[in-house]
Amino acid sequence: MEIVYVYTRKRSEFGRPCNFSDRPALVNVDIPPQPAMASAFVLRNPVDSWVQHSSEMSEHEVNTGRVEVESRGVNHVEGGWPKDINPEEVEQTIRFRKKVEKDENYINTITHLSTLVEHCVKQNNAIDIYEEYFEEADVTEMEDELPSAKTIVVISCLGANISLFDVPPSQRDPNATKRTATHLSWHPNKSKKLAVAYSSLEFQQNVKDMSSESYIWNLENPNKPELVLKPSSPLVCLEYNPKDTHLLVGGCYNGQMAYWDTRKGRLPVEVSTVEFSHRDPVYGVNWLQSKTGTECFSASTDGQVLWWDIRKLAEPTEKLVLDITRKGLLEDALGAVTLEFEPTMPTKFMVGTEQGIVIACNRKAKTPAEKITGTFSGHYGPVYALARNPFCPKVFLTVGDWTARIWSEDIKESSIMWTKNHLCYLTDGCWSTVRPSVFFTTRTDGTLDVWDFLFKQKDPSLSVKVCNEPLSSLRLQDNGCVIGCGSKLGSVTLLEISAGLSTLQKNEKALVNAMFERETRREKLLESRQREMRLKERVRQEGQEPEVEKPVESPQEVLERVSREFFEVLEAEKAR
């Protein structure tokens, strides 16, 4: 016998408010006066009282123990059966249930509990005490807020010693040459730690006694570094391990690779041998997605990409020469300045070169020639920054010369979007981790630009003058709220971005994807038209086609005609 009771209620009765009723006053205690006690009353005259006009203060310090919280899963299995009953045998469980349901004590208990449960169900259905009446209020306020950024912390370093707000001149480094903050890396779990690589990249500007140290800063105590890293040569790049946050890998100015374990101190655990290392400074290093979490790869201006395993860092496990002619000649290789790797695409990576060419590679190809899958050419100088859009990995950002460009993997001839030409060089850039339409760029005049191409394309949404010296590096926290900017003179400025630029907007992903698809289609039309014109010109020059005098279109006329065809296609699709 199954006990089933269906609770029903009209839809109109849901959400009704609480009903309160009035009732007359109730006297609980009544103490009548006693005239006989009046003679015992003594009038107090005068009355003395004290008043303290200053505020009362009390200061206490408590050092509590650290509470570590651990999440554990619970596996619920069927239990409570007697030892002689096998819960997997259906017949035994049915017989036992029938026996228990006939028990008078069981029926009385269920009847008593059902009354309590029914009361709780009715009470919960009466009104929702957690109902939010003004869910849209915060969103509206955020949309009206103007883009802004405020400085949180400024960390500066002169040479080997720290020169912050309260460091006396006797403790400052005597070297006249300032070291550049070449690379920043946030702690994967704790947003309060920042690893900064310092080195001087000026040609033949390394002073004999210049320090080679780099630092890990704790933002809760920025007056001194939490850990000083002492490599054999100054670090150009430095990265935290996303799996084991105690490990860091760095690329040195002399081409060597080194890794640290913060639990073991300031010296590197292991350094690669000079014979098997890069021949030029290591400008890019990234951790790979692997089961062990110990694999990484690096790129340098010597034209090589090397794969490493820190368990055996003496020599690389694999090598790729960046020769776009696919001959594998090191003398024809292009020097790498930046390296890009997206963990969601574990076999693909991209390299930005000194010649302004971006090389797309596939590590799992069979031959070295097949590992270079394509090239993108659009900059007149080195590609200083290269990053995939975290929400649309087929689209990536490059920063070089005077512009930042947005590319699609489907279009190799030209970029689909680009910024205006600035008056000074751009030095670095990155995407926002929370908004697909926002990216950041730094300039040599010390300005940080924040671009939101859904808002406007010709100018940045926000420009902040961070410092007077050139900015050299840029890194955004995973929460998208705090960004770090490293300068040529070694200072690191942390800025907090306003909520409007660090909060995902309504329908933003769909709008950004639609814009990328529209611009990609437009570039494909222009590319096919240009290819067709080149083919006709080649045929005409070879004499395979009789010369027919046709009016030659100017570049402006070609652009107008292709744009007109493109918008006709859009109108046709819209009508359909």
Please tell me the distance from the alpha carbon of residue 255 to that of residue 281, in angstroms, as a whole number.
5
Q: Are strands 438-443 and 426-431 parallel, antiparallel or unpaired?
A: antiparallel
460 in any annotated domain: yes
pLDDT tens digit sequence for 485-534 = 999 888 899 999 988 888 888 888 889 999 999 988 888 888 888 888 88
Phi-psi region of 319 (alpha: psi -120 to 50; beta: other; left: phi over 0): beta
Average pLDDT over residues 247-265: 91
Task: Report the CATH number that the domain containing residue 493 is assigned in CATH.
Answer: 2.130.10.10
Domain count across the chain:
1
Q: Over the stretch 436-479, which tens digit does the pLDDT of each residue have?
A: 999 999 999 999 999 998 888 888 999 999 998 999 999 999 88
Residue corresponding to tokens 């001959």: 327
Identify the CA nearest to 439 among candidates 498, 480, 410. Answer: 480
3-state secondary structure of 351: strand
For the residues of 388-431, what is the DSSP string, one character each? E-SS-TTEEEEEETTEEEEEETT--SS-SEEPPPPSS-EEEEEE
Residue 13 falls inside a structural domain: no
Q: Is 350 within the bounds of a domain?
A: yes
- Identify the band that residue 414 occupies on the pLDDT scale cut at 50, 70 and 90: confident
> Is the residue at 483 inside a domain?
yes
Q: Do residues 429 and 397 touch, judged by C-beta distance below 8 A?
A: yes
- pTM to 2 decimals? 0.65
Measured over the CA atoms of residue 231, residue 237, residue 238 and residue 239, the dihedral's sign is: negative
Q: Comparing 131-140, 245-254, 492-501, which segment has the lowest mean pLDDT? A: 131-140
In three-state secondary structure terms, 66 is coil
Q: What is the pLDDT of residues 63-85, one digit of tens each?
A: 777 777 888 777 766 677 887 78
307-360: pLDDT as tens digits: 999 988 888 988 988 888 888 888 888 889 999 988 888 888 999 999 899 999
- In a domain, residue 2? The reply is no
Q: Quick check: is 153 in a domain?
A: yes
Report whether 487 contacts 477 (CB < 8 A).
no
Which tokens hold the place of 379? 């900059």
Strand partners, 487: 471
Q: Is residue 497 part of a domain?
A: yes
Q: What distances in angstroms separate CA 11 from CA 8, 117, 201, 567, one per listed residue?
A: 9, 21, 72, 51
Host domain of residue 423: 149-160+174-526
Q: Are strands 161-162 and 304-309 parallel, antiparallel or unpaired?
A: unpaired
Residue 80 maps to a domain: no
The answer to whether 257 and 272 are in contact (CB under 8 A) is yes
Backbone angles phi, psi at 370, to 5 degrees: -80, -15
Distance CA 445, CA 466 (A): 9
Residues 6+ apart with CB under 8 A from 143: 500, 505
Please check whether residue 495 is in contact with residue 482, taking contact to mean a CB–CB distance below 8 angstroms: yes
Higher pLDDT, 2 or 1: 2
Distance between start and end Cα atoms, the chain: 61
